Amino acid sequence: MMIALYGLSDEPPEPKILDVYLCKVRRRLMEAQTRIQVETIYGRGWRLHPESVVRFDEAVAAYRGSSDLAFDRRAA
């Protein structure tokens, strides 16, 4: 993720910048009452809980105005 965000930057980002951004994302998800949870996997990164993946897909589909955009991850 750091490379995707800062790969072309001349200066390296602060080590905790992703934690700061993730904190803001979590706060906004909570304020929006989405029930989408981002879990920290120590030493590895982050992930969405399986139930949150479904909720995320539903929220994106609703935002875009089409329920056929939801991706059924169980079929993958």
Res 55: pLDDT: 87
Res 27: pLDDT: 94
Res 23: pLDDT: 92
- The sign of the CA dihedral 19, 22, 28, 31 is negative
**Cα–Cα dist 50/74, whole Å:** 10
Domain residue spans of the chain: 15-75
Res 4: pLDDT: 67
Query: What are the 10-residue block averages of pLDDT along the chain, 76 residues in total?
Result: 68 79 91 88 86 86 67 51
